Amino acid sequence: MSVTGTRPAGRPRSERAEKAIVDATLDLIGEGASVSELSIEAVAARAGVGKTTIYRRWANKEELVGDALATLKAPLPVVAGRTVREDLVAYLDVMRQDSLHVRTRCIMNIAMSDQERHPRLYERFHQTAIEPRRAAMRAVLERGVATGELRADLDVELAMGMLTGTMLWYTKAASHGGALPSPDLASRIVDEALRGFRSAQA
């Protein structure tokens, strides 16, 4: 996406405005605004642009918020080719690191909780941010099954749910005032899960 791309000096004014609008949107959500409460007026005021500048780029609030949320997801680490364990730890640790940022947590809550009211927003967020990560983790597990490192009868979807769900459980608890996930949490989850996932001969 152009809003996250780096460019040499001379970035056109429209691109600077776009970045200011996305930042303003994230700021307001990070300060606690729900999607329903967020107004294009408030975003425009915060970004120092006119409403028409926003409407030139985004048809409505949901699309703006969806694009803004998508810029927050750290790119997935490049992991293909190492052991299943290392790859899974790397992916889960991205989730842990994301959860340490208050703004990200605030915004993830929005993305998840406002879905019943803003289905298009959730759909967009799902496609741009969640599904690529799921596909990457699925590929690691399927590779493990193919090489025999993991059980031939492993239910890959269930395994993904166990790994991701456990990390979410801890990061969610942290966002509700519990302890922050410890730096080794990803490896502890993966090691515990792999006890069951590994094939007998691995």
Nearest distance, CB of residue 101 and a second copy, angstroms: 14
Least CB distance to a second copy at residue 36 (A): 8
User: Hey, is 123 helix, strand or coil?
Assistant: helix
CB of 113 to a second copy, least distance (A): 4
- CA nearest neighbour of 26 among 56, 4, 7: 4
For 147, the token pair is: 């090489």
Site residues, a second copy (CB under 8 A): 32, 34, 36, 106, 109-110, 112-113, 115-117, 119, 122, 126, 155, 158-159, 161-162, 164-170, 172, 175-177, 188-189, 192-197
Q: Helix, strand or coil for residue 2?
A: coil
Q: Which residue has the tokens 């979807």?
A: 157
Q: How far is the CB of 195 from a second copy (least distance, A)?
A: 3
Q: Which residues of 10-41 are buried (b: 16+ CB within 10 A; e: fewer)?
A: eeeeeeebbbbbbbbbbebbbeebebeebebe
CB-nearer residue toward a second copy: 50 or 148: 148
Which one, 11 or 126, has the nearer CB to a second copy?
126
Nearer of residues 25 and 164 to a second copy, judged by Cβ: 164
- Residue 18: CB minimum distance to a second copy, A: 28
**For residues 12 and 132, which CB has a smaller minimum distance to a second copy in the complex?**
132
148: Cα separation from own chain's centroid: 30
In the complex with a second copy, the residue whose CB is nearer, 71 or 115, is 115
3-state DSSP assignment of residue 150? strand
Per the CB < 8 A criterion, the answer to whether 3 and 46 are in contact is no
